[in-house]
């Protein structure tokens, strides 16, 4: 019982403050990509082949044994392509994007399970684990980009929709989609999101803490991929903007498997008679990360640790006496 009490106190006092970095994967769910069916939520529509990198730095402070707060800053890279989908409509639309999401978040962590020590108390390496739920708010800036499609450029040129010869375009360049207003709608580079997830952390010694965390960010924007509403009137677009807005072509429709490509292609461009949908504005874009965390613990950073930490008593050093010597007490006679 005494050792259990010591272990719990030591587990609580192992850290009050830690700082470190995270690195892992990033995935996106939105209007681009997906599988055979129309958009489905979460894992059913993820393209695991388009998993990208995410990196962050963070600082965390433990308010109590049950609650901690964490400030985090970093970048999440997102990318996806319609031509990777098995859905005929998405493959014919032929949109794609990449985006670097630079975020700053404040999150809370609530312990769900805690085991102060997995090893024996007498072990040299004392390992503790705790599982937690995390939630918070994220502010981020982003900039969706895309490249020009050569087949689409040649198609629009042959149709008389653009004046620039397709041979003059730079097909290796990534264009900022927001600047070209592909849907003739204006949206900002900043947005908010609400990260939700679960994690587990391990204390491997008094200085190092390891962890793994899965978080999904529910955003308040539908423009991480620049696709949301309807096709724009070509009259309001320059040649590059038109090709970026309508990247489909007869070649693309044939490759996608359309039975009558030229007729089917009419669904993937602006029409004066009705608003032709380019995306689904009813659902915002989301993204998630799976990361490994490494942090350094700052010991003795609060009174919480000082009150709960267990210290072994130091042995008292006594002066050695010379053989035959005697200590003389106060008030005793000398002979």
Task: Give the closest residue to 33 by CA, choosing from 19, 49, 21.
Answer: 49
The pLDDT value given to residue 203: 83
- For the chain of 335 residues, list the mean pLDDT of each consecutive stretch of 10: 43 71 96 68 72 97 93 97 91 96 98 72 62 97 98 96 96 97 94 97 85 97 96 94 97 93 92 90 94 88 43 54 53 44
Say how far apart CA 278 and CA 299 lie, in whole Å: 55
Identify whether the C-beta of residue 46 lies closer than 8 Å to the C-beta of residue 32.
no
Contacting residues for 189 by C-beta, under 8 A, at least 6 apart: 141, 142, 143, 178
Structure tokens at 17: 């403050």
The 8-class DSSP code of residue 214 comes to E
Structure tokens at 130: 């705790």
Query: Could you tell me the maximum CA-CA distance found in the chain, to the nearest angstrom?
Result: 126
Please, which residues have CB within 8 angstroms of residue 199's CB and are 6 or more apart in sequence? Answer: 109, 131, 132, 134, 211, 212, 213, 214, 215, 293
Residues 101 and 224: beta-carbon distance below 8 Å: yes
DSSP 287: E
Is residue 283 within 8 A of residue 219, CB to CB? The reply is no
Tell me the three state secondary structure of residue 216. Answer: strand
Residues 143, 216 contacting (CB under 8 angstroms):
no
Domains and CATH numbers, the chain: 2-308 (2.40.160.20)
Q: Identify which of 316, 176, 162, 329 has the alpha carbon closest to the alpha carbon of residue 243.
A: 162
Structure-block tokens of residue 7:
């272990």
The single-letter DSSP state of residue 144 is -
- Please classify residue 277 by burial: count the beta carbons closer than 10 Å to its beta carbon, then call 0-12 exposed, 13-18 middle and 19+ buried: middle
Three-class DSSP category at 84: helix
Q: Do residues 231 and 183 make contact, with C-beta atoms less than 8 angstroms apart?
A: yes
- SS3 for 145-211 is EECCCHHHHHHHHHCCCCCCCHHHCCCCCCEEHHHHCCCCCCCCCEEEEEEEEEEEEEECCCCEEEE
Q: pTM value?
A: 0.82
CA distance 210 to 203: 6
Phi, psi angle pair for 32, to nearest 5°: -105, 145
Backbone angles phi, psi at 68, to 5 degrees: -140, 155
| Residues pairing with 214 in the sheet | 198, 290
């Amino acid at each position: 019982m005494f050792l259990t009490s010591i272990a719990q106190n030591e587990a609580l006092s192992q850290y009050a403050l830690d700082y470190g970095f995270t690195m892992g994967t990033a995935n996106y769910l939105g209007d681009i990509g997906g599988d055979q069916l129309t958009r489905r939520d979460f894992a059913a529509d993820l393209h695991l082949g388009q998993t990208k990198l995410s990196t962050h730095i963070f600082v965390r402070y433990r308010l109590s044994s049950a609650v901690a707060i964490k400030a985090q800053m970093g970048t999440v890279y997102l990318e996806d392509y319609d031509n990777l989908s098995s859905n005929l409509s998405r493959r014919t639309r032929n949109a794609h994007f990449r985006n670097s999401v630079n975020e700053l978040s404040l999150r809370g962590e609530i312990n769900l399970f805690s085991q102060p020590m997995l090893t024996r108390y007498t072990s040299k390496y004392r390992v503790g684990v705790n599982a937690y739920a995390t939630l918070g708010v994220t502010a981020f800036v982003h900039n969706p980009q895309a490249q020009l499609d050569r087949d689409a450029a040649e198609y629009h040129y042959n149709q008389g929709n653009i004046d620039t010869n397709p041979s003059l375009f730079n097909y290796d360049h990534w264009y900022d989609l927001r600047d070209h207003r592909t849907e003739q709608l204006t949206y900002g580079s900043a947005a908010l999101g609400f990260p939700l997830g679960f994690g587990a952390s391990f204390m491997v010694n008094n200085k190092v803490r390891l962890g793994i965390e899965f978080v999904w960010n529910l955003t308040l924007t539908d423009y991480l991929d620049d696709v949301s509403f309807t096709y724009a009137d070509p009259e309001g677009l320059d040649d590059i903007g038109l090709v970026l807005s309508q990247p489909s072509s007869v070649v693309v429709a044939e490759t996608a498997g359309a039975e009558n490509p030229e007729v089917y292609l009419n669904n993937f461009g602006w029409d004066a008679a009705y608003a032709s949908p380019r995306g689904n504005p009813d659902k915002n874009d989301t993204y998630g990360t799976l990361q490994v965390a490494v942090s350094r613990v700052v010991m003795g950073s609060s009174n919480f640790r000082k009150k709960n930490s267990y210290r072994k008593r130091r042995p008292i050093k006594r002066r050695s006496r010379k053989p035959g010597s005697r200590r003389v007490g106060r008030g005793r006679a000398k002979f």
